[in-house]
Amino acid sequence: MTTTTEKQEVRLAPYQEEYIELSLKSDILRFGGPFTLKSGRKSPYFFNAGLFNTGSKIQKVAECYANRIVDSGVEFDVLFGPAYKGIPLVAATAMALAKDHGRDVAFCFNRKEAKTHGEGGNLIGAPLKGRVLVIDDVITAGTAINEAVEIINAQEDARLCGVVIALDRQERATEESPESAITQVEKRLGIKVYSVVTLEHIIKYMEKTRGDEHRKDIESMYEYRRIYGSS
């Protein structure tokens, strides 16, 4: 379980607080489970990034992604959004970087099936070359990122330099491994995965804003972290 010292070390930037608040108000971050995950685990909370589904929501999410990218200091030449969820995320994030940070960056995304007429191919947007920063919603078993890496590696002048996702659940990838899926991806690919928020951020924010109202939910997250938390 997270100790008091560890909780005190968690810091939330204003954009992270706004992101979590939007997720709570929009029912994107839900409690009252248990919710069965793809892993088969029973989680006390569920995060459904697919519900960032209006103009105002995706605008705020993109602002948070852009802030996380700037905070990270990661250097890149082009953003890449894997189909399908990464497509609106990468376009909106590029707009947020231009509007809020004065950074007019190139972006690209893929089709699931290659187009055989017109311009052809399965890539749309800017040329996929140089240092590529992938924008996606989550990393679980790493399947989606593996597909993105294959696309990037197929380009002569492109290389993956990092990944930005919505949430790090901070839990073990398997029962046998103490590492998270994110840590495994980082080690295997030699890159850094940046999350807009982590489970610890959510717990911290819930303690700060809904400690009495959601005490049971907060304690259930602590317990889940104790059982399944990654090293």
| Distance separating alpha carbons of residues 44 and 190, to the nearest angstrom | 32
Q: Which residue carries 């990661």 as its tokens? A: 74
By annotation, the residues acting in catalysis are 115, 117
> What sign does the dihedral 207-213-216-221 (CA atoms) show?
negative
Range of 5-19, 122-136, 173-187 with top mean pLDDT: 122-136
Query: Does residue 5 carry a pLDDT above 60?
Result: no
Can you spell out the DSSP letters for 157-187? TEEEEEEEEEEE--BBSSSS-SSBHHHHHHH
Q: Which fold has domain 4-228?
A: Rossmann fold (3.40.50)
Indicate the pLDDT class of residue 142, thresholds 50, 70 and 90.
low
Q: What is the pLDDT of residues 175-189, one digit of tens each?
A: 888 899 899 999 999
Which helix H or strand E contains 195, and what residues bound it?
Answer: strand 192-198
As to burial, measured by CB atoms within 10 angstroms (0-12 exposed, 13-18 middle, 19+ buried), residue 25 is exposed
Q: Given strand 78-81, what is the order of strands in its sheet?
A: 121-125, 106-115, 78-81, 130-135, 158-168, 192-198
Q: What is the DSSP letter of 150?
A: H
Whole-angstrom CA distances from 93 to 64, 96, 158, 189 are 8, 5, 20, 23
> What sections of 52-142 are H helices per DSSP?
55-72, 86-101
Q: What is the DSSP letter of 50?
A: G
Q: What is the pLDDT of residues 35-53, one digit of tens each?
A: 998 878 999 999 998 899 9
Token pair for 192 = 């850094």
Q: Which residue carries 């991806």 as its tokens? A: 185
Which helix H or strand E contains 19, and what residues bound it?
Answer: helix 14-25
Indicate the pLDDT class of residue 209, thresholds 50, 70 and 90.
very high
Residue 86 near residue 133, CB atoms below 8 Å:
no
What is the number of alpha carbons within 13 Å of residue 146 lying toward its C-beta? 7
Indicate the pLDDT class of residue 32, thresholds 50, 70 and 90.
confident
Partners of 45 in beta bridges = 31
